[in-house]
Amino acid sequence: MSTFRDSASGSQPYKDPTPLPDSVPRVQELGATSAPLKSAAFFIGAYCKEYNEDFMLCKNEGRGDPGQCLKEGRRVTRCATDLINKMRENCLEQFDTHWNCLELNNQEYFACRKPERALNKCMFEKLGLTKTIPGTPAGKKQVHEVENPIYTTVQR
Amino acid sequence: MSIQYRQDLPPPGGFDAIKYKRNLPFRGPSGLVILGAVTAVCAYGFYRVGKGNLERRELQREKVWSRIHLVPLLLAEGDRDAYRRQQAALQREREIMKDVKGWEAGKSVYNNTRYRSAESIVVL
């Protein structure tokens, strides 16, 4: 009779029974959870624009075949890893504050404007990246720059 | 003997004036004022609602774009795993069907060359 044994608690280190073929170069996965990713999303969009667009165009041509765009996909992942590393080097404190705030507030941007402004400021000063939301109506402030928003948390 | 009598007279200084005027206390602001105030409050409320709707639209756009920016990253990661599973399934199929003559592992059952994702996956 066999029982379920969690591979994480085994005495042997976990070995992938079906690893990627050797012809595919290895790339370290990003491994960030949802809140840091959401916090960094607009900077990833700004910093890795070319790689992302290249990958998405390739995906569009490949009609969904996962093997078609592995090279472009590795570039996307490397670029995102690079950006997260840079963020952690330059704005670690602001980044941590912001994504922890998102974690505690149902991952709503509007609940975390104060840490977000600090992060945006730091990112602009250190890395020259700005958060821009495409499609904002002309002549209006972007929603993350509005001084007195209507949607706020109950406690300011 | 004479009777000491006193004539009933008004008090010195005369009687008070008769209060014949209606005495109605102030009964609050008039209907028109209340109506105006309610209208003003409602107007301000609807103004805020309208502003809030516009702002919610912008918040929604912000959320959607934050997800759009993450799509390539997550898709790339998922693709690598899907490719790994695909190759592993091919390997297994080759191993199982190695004794069958003329079997092509991974050959589509359709004549169309369009990519189709696997109908079933083995969780490994």
Distance between CA atoms of residues B40 and A118, nearest Å: 39
Of A7-21, A67-81, A117-131, the poorest mean pLDDT is in A7-21
| Torsion over CA: A124, A125, A126, A127 (sign) | positive
Contact yes or no for B114/A63 (Cβ under 8 A): yes
Whether residue A5 is predicted with pLDDT greater than 70 in this model: the reply is no
Substitution target from B60, B66, B91 for chain A, most A beta carbons within 10 A: B66
On whether any CB of chain B is under 8 Å from the CB of A113, the answer is no
Whether residue A1 is predicted with pLDDT greater than 60 in this model: the reply is no
pLDDT band at B72 (very low <50, low <70, confident <90, very high): very high
The overall average pLDDT reported for chain A is: 89
The overall average pLDDT reported for chain B is: 89
Q: Would you tell me how many other CB atoms lie within 10 Å of the CB of residue B25?
A: 5
Condensed to tens digits (0 to 9), the pLDDT of residues B38-59 reads 999 999 999 999 999 999 999 9
pLDDT above 90 covers what percent of chain A? 64
Whether residue B60 is predicted with pLDDT greater than 80 in this model: the reply is yes
Condensed to tens digits (0 to 9), the pLDDT of residues A51-83 reads 999 999 999 987 778 888 999 999 999 999 999
The per-residue pLDDT for A8 is: 66
Q: Retrieve residue B1's tokens.
A: 């003997």
3-state secondary structure of A8: helix
Q: Which of B120, B118, B94 is nearest to B105 (CA)?
A: B94
Q: Which of A97, A73, A74 is nearest to A87 (CA)?
A: A97
Q: CA A21 → CA A55, A66, A142, B77, B88, distances in Å?
A: 21, 14, 46, 16, 9
Instruction: Give all strands (DSSP E) within chain B, no chain letters.
Output: none
Burial of A58 (0-12, 13-18, 19+ CB in 10 A): middle
Inter-axis angle of helices A34-47 and A70-104, nearest 10: 130
CB within 8 Å: B124 and A18: yes
3-state secondary structure of A83: helix
On whether any CB of chain B is under 8 Å from the CB of A44, the answer is yes
Whether residue A154 is predicted with pLDDT greater than 80 in this model: the reply is yes
The per-residue pLDDT for A47 is: 95
Within a 13 Å sphere around the CA of A28, how many CA atoms are in the beta-carbon half?
9
Q: CA B4 → CA B1, B7, B11, B12, distances in Å?
A: 9, 10, 20, 21
CB within 8 Å: A143 and B65: no
Distance between CA atoms of residues A5 and B46, nearest Å: 60
Q: One-letter amino acid identity for A86?
A: K
On whether any CB of chain B is under 8 Å from the CB of A74, the answer is yes
Whether residue B1 is predicted with pLDDT greater than 70 in this model: the reply is no
Residue of B5 and A128 predicted with greater confidence: A128
* Residue bearing tokens 């972007």: A142
Distance between CA atoms of residues A31 and A34, nearest Å: 10
Partner-chain residue, chosen from B66, B72, B83, that has the shortest CB–CB distance to A66: B83
User: What pTM was computed for the model?
Assistant: 0.80
How far B22 CA lies from chain A's nearest CA (Å)? 51
Give per-residue burial for B61-75: e unless 16+ CB within 10 Å, then b: bbbebbeebbebbeb
Distance between CA atoms of residues A156 and A154, nearest Å: 6
pLDDT band at A20 (very low <50, low <70, confident <90, very high): confident
Residue of A133 and A154 predicted with greater confidence: A133
The per-residue pLDDT for B2 is: 74
The per-residue pLDDT for A156 is: 65
Instruction: For residues B75-104, give the mean pLDDT.
Output: 91
Substitution target from B69, B81, B113, B124 for chain A, most A beta carbons within 10 A: B69
Of A29-33, A61-65, B59-63, the poorest mean pLDDT is in A61-65
The per-residue pLDDT for B124 is: 59
Burial of A75 (0-12, 13-18, 19+ CB in 10 A): buried
